[in-house]
Amino acid sequence: MSDRRNRYERVALVTGSTSGIGLAIAQALILDGWMVALHGLGAAQEIDSVLMQVASQVGFSNMPRHFHADLRSPEQARGLVSEVESKLGRVDLLVNNAGIQHTSRVEDFPTSKWDEIMAINLSAVFHACAAALPGMKRRNFGRIVNIASIHGLVASAEKAAYVSAKHGVVGLTKTIALENARSNITCNAICPGWVRTPLVEAQVHHRMSAMGLDHDAAERTLLAEKEPSQRFTTTEHIASAVAFLISEAGSNITGISLAMDGAWTAQ
N- to C-terminal Cα separation, the chain: 60
Half-sphere exposure of 47 (CA within 13 A, CB side): 14
Positive or negative: CA dihedral 240, 244, 247, 248: positive
Amino acid, single-letter form, for residue 35: M
Distances (CA, A) of 183 to 91, 179, 248, 253, 256: 16, 9, 14, 12, 16
Measured distance CA(263)–CA(193) in Å, rounded: 9
Rounded to the nearest 10 degrees, the angle between the axes of helix 198-211 and helix 215-226 is: 110
What is the rounded distance in angstroms from the CA atom of residue 186 to the CA atom of residue 183?
8
For the stretch 110-119, contacts whose Cβ atoms lie closer than 8 Å and that sit 24 or more positions apart, written own/partner, are 113/161, 114/160, 114/161, 116/72, 117/161, 117/162, 117/165, 118/161, 118/164, 118/165, 119/71, 119/72, 119/73
Largest Cα separation within the chain, whole Å, is 63
Enumerate the active-site residues.
162
